[in-house]
Amino acid sequence: SFLLKLENKTKRKLQKQICQVVLDHFEKQYTRELGDTWTNVRDVLTYPLCWQYAVLLNKFSQSAELENTLHVKGYHPAFQGPLPYLPASLKCYIRRTPGRFPAQKHQAGKLKEYYLLNAASLLPVLALEVKDGEDVLDLCAAPGGKSVAILQCACPGNFHCNEYDDLRSRWLKKTIESFIPDPLTNLIMVSKLDGTQVGDLKPELYDKILVDAPCSNDRSWLFSSDIQQATLRLIQRKELSFLQLQLLRSAIKALRPGGSLVYSTCTLSKAENSDVINLILNSCTNVMPVDISEMAKAVSQEFTFLSGTQQHELLVLPEKGRAWGPMYVAKLKKM
């Protein structure tokens, strides 16, 4: 039948796109780090037909009709129950079946009603617990989904969104324009500073900082169409943890005493996750880990976590029917 042909064509297309160099590299590393768990994770990551997308509603452009449509299509709220921090204004819908809700085109002068994202990328925002009036820094903010989510939760006193990369910075500005209304955009400062310098430029200025660090993006790297670029990425991968450390040290300087920081990546790599956080905890005497296990417990219906992590960290593992992640989250507090 025509549909079967189409499905096989899609499958072929997907199989063609997997970058073998990257898969081989991941295979070695993640079999070592995750053991049997890796097999299930690999099956989800290498098969985009089972990926899921969450729909984050934009409270600045609310539509009751949209919520009804989502209910009809079998979506339900992603976050419910006894979360330590869950503002009523943060509305995110998911469903168990794969597939993507249609994306919205940018229209001048009209705010978008929703943002499509990996539901796990809201966990760093929930862990950060931003409250009204706090001064907030999103250190590596592009493409802007987490910045938009923070503004769904609370109204910061000042909100500083930083993105060093020129192209990504333009993308960030566009996202903010698409989702945030004018009077509120005055609270937002978008900058293109080198994140590793921000601590020296703005010491002890922020109550809350999100460091959603540049990392080996496992999902997108697996589908690198350019083998040379992929090979180069894998060579440079070793240097990422050094950059992540520098960004964290910078963020700690920029944090007020008593303030807290959330570090997140979208990789499974231990070198870029636990190892980086352990190095920070062992080398910075003014930083303490913060327990986020209550949050993890409250969302364990919808997310699968790697077992055996410490109380201040979590790692979301994609699995079929709950294809969210990979997403690593760790929380620290400055004394």
314: left (phi over 0), alpha (psi -120 to 50) or beta: beta
Q: Which token pair is 160? A: 């500083």
CB 215 within 8 A of CB 267: yes
Q: Is the peptide bond before 326 cis (omega within 30 degrees of 0)?
A: yes
Which positions ≥6 away from 273 have C-beta within 8 Å?
265, 267, 313, 315, 328, 330
Annotated binding-site residue? 325: no
Q: Confirm whether residue 254 is marked as ligand binding.
A: no
Q: Tell me, what DSSP letter sits at residue 197?
A: G
> Has 24 been labeled as part of a binding site?
no
Considering only CA atoms, which of 271, 268, 275 is closest in space to residue 236? 271
143: annotated binding-site residue? yes
- Give the residue numbers marked as catalytic: 266
Element (H, E) at 135: strand 135-138
87: tokens are 């503002």
H-only helix segments in the chain: 2-17, 20-34, 37-45, 64-72, 123-128, 145-153, 166-179, 182-185, 198-201, 218-221, 227-254, 274-283, 293-298
Residue type at 139 in one-letter notation: L
- List the structure tokens of 272: 């870029």
Cα distance between residue 114 and residue 60, in whole Å: 10
**Token pair belonging to 1:** 């039948």
CA angle (301, 307, 310) in 5-degree steps? 110
C-beta separation of 248 from 280 below 8 A: yes
**Residue 142 annotated as part of some ligand binding site:** yes
Residue 146, marked binder: yes
Residue 63 CA, chain-centre distance (Å), reads: 25
* The one-letter amino acid at 253: K
Binding-site members for S-adenosyl-L-methionine are 140-146, 163, 194, 212
Binding-site members are 140-146, 163, 194, 212
